[in-house]
Amino acid sequence: MDLGLDKVVNSAYDKLSEWGNALIDLLPNMVLAIIILILAYFAAKIIGSIVEKYTIKFGGNKTIAGFVRRVLFIIVFILGGMLALSVMNLEKTISSILAGMGIVGLALGFAFQDTAANFMSGIYISFKQPFRIGDIIKTTTGHMGNVIDINLRVTKIRLFDGQHVYVPNKMLFQEYFVNFTEEGKRRLQLSCGVSYGDDLEKVEKVAIKAMDNVPSKLEDEDVSLFWTEFGSSSINFELNVWMEYNQDHRKFIDTRNEALKALKKAFDENDITIPFPIRTLDFGIKGGKMLSKDLASVDWKSESALNGNDE
């Protein structure tokens, strides 16, 4: 029994001695591999930072520069890791890792299809730049505001009431959205109506003239007025004014306010009426009677007797 135990102990000792000798032989390579990994890490950070800096300098936006920096960091660090494994004579391990990464990547691709779609959409948005930081956009869900951040998964929008909305990039890639800033100008539309007794040609001249001093109005764009319908109590029109429109939506609100006040003031000075809604009421069982005639036909004495008020 003791001989069997001694044999097991000796066998274990020999195996541990073998592993220790192998570790000692491999120790210089391990130290070199660790040094290579450390150098690869710092080299990846330095190279990524330099590329990011010059990408921004030569016209690229921050999203593209950040994406390039991250991709370069991963590539350089992976190359450093492979070199470290080669130094340790683990070439077969490298092949196994690459094969495993392919299988894992395929599995993750099926598991995270939406994430992958948002990622690819983010790359497209970063390079094509259908909108930029600060632009005013409106999504299909009705969210409208300034773009304050674009990353590879979502686009962050600050609404005009101060709330933040995170929109998946896939939505902005697959569906339409409205970019209000790209053109640099926007048409301000004012809907109004005048009474049937007003001269329509006079209304046109006064309304267009009233827009002369509206702030931010573009001088090279004519103000236009189009009559739209015969309303129930007014003849309605639409007044169109082109104005400068950039990343400050507040200017649009101020211009619209000034345009409304200018139009009302001009109409008041020229005796042009913006009518209140007018309603014509018909009385009688079949209609077509005025209230005064309907009241005159009532026998008030009979009505009083029926109600017990006969005096």
Tokens describing residue 113: 């299809």
pLDDT of residue 73: 84
- CA 186 to CA 241: how far, in whole Å? 8
Identity of the highest mean pLDDT range in 24-28, 231-235, 245-249, 259-263 = 259-263
Task: Evaluate whether residue 189 is within a structural domain.
Answer: yes
Is the sign of the CA dihedral 249, 252, 217, 245 positive or negative?
positive
Confidence of residue 103 (pLDDT cuts 50, 70, 90): low
Tokens describing residue 191: 């809907």
pLDDT tens-digit readout, 242-252: 998 888 888 88
Rg (Cα) of the chain, in Å, rounded? Answer: 39
> For 231, phi and psi rounded to 5 degrees?
-80, 180
Domain containing 166: what range?
131-179
Confidence of residue 206 (pLDDT cuts 50, 70, 90): very high
Percent share of the chain, pLDDT over 70: 70
DSSP string, 240-306: EEEEE--S-HHHHHHHHHHHHHHHHHHHHHTT---PPP-----BSSSS-B-HHHHHHTS-HHHHHHH
List, in order, residues 6 or more apart from 265 with CB less than 8 Å away: 210
List, in order, residues 6 or more apart from 236 with CB less than 8 Å away: 191, 192, 193, 227, 228, 229, 230
**Does 22 lie in the same domain as 105?**
yes
- Which of 179, 205, 237 terminates a domain? The answer is 179
Query: Does residue 257 surpass a pLDDT of 70?
Result: yes
Residue linked to tokens 């073998």 = 18
CATH code at position 160? 2.30.30.60
Q: In terms of residues, how long is the chain?
A: 311
How does DSSP classify residue 275? P
DSSP run (H or E) holding 193: strand 185-194
Mean pLDDT of 265-281: 86
Query: Does residue 17 surpass a pLDDT of 70?
Result: no
Task: Evaluate whether residue 209 is within a structural domain.
Answer: yes
Query: Does residue 292 surpass a pLDDT of 80?
Result: no
Task: Evaluate whether residue 247 is within a structural domain.
Answer: yes
Q: How many alpha carbons lie under 13 Å from residue 158 in its C-beta half-sphere?
A: 11
Q: Decide: 294 and 284 in contact? Cβ < 8 Å.
A: yes
pLDDT of residue 207: 95
DSSP H helical ranges for 177-248: 200-210
Query: Does residue 213 surpass a pLDDT of 70?
Result: yes
Would residue 287 be called left, alpha or beta, if left means φ above 0 and alpha means ψ between -120 and 50 degrees? Answer: left
List, in order, residues 6 or more apart from 230 with CB less than 8 Å away: 236
Residue in 240, 211, 214 with CA at minimum distance from that of residue 228: 240
Tokens describing residue 216: 């931010």
- CA 268 to CA 198: how far, in whole Å? 13
Lowest-confidence segment of 7-16, 66-75, 142-151, 194-203 by average pLDDT: 7-16
- CA 151 to CA 115: how far, in whole Å? 13
- What are all long-range contacts of 275-281, with beta carbons under 8 Å and residues at least 24 apart? 275/193, 275/194, 275/195, 275/233, 275/234, 276/233, 277/232, 277/233, 278/232, 278/233
- CA 181 to CA 145: how far, in whole Å? 11
- Which of 111, 146, 170 terminates a domain? The answer is 111
Mean pLDDT of 125-144: 87
- CA 149 to CA 122: how far, in whole Å? 12
Residue linked to tokens 């990524």 = 48
Number of helices (H), then strands (E), in the chain = 9, 8
Query: Does residue 195 surpass a pLDDT of 90?
Result: yes
What letter represents residue 175's amino acid? E
pLDDT tens-digit readout, 63-84: 677 777 877 888 888 888 878 7
pLDDT of residue 305: 47
Task: Evaluate whether residue 119 is within a structural domain.
Answer: no
**Does 17 lie in the same domain as 91?**
yes
Task: Evaluate whether residue 121 is within a structural domain.
Answer: no
Domain count within the chain: 4
Query: Does residue 310 surpass a pLDDT of 90?
Result: no
**Does 137 lie in the same domain as 58?**
no
Task: Evaluate whether residue 259 is within a structural domain.
Answer: yes
**Does 144 lie in the same domain as 107?**
no
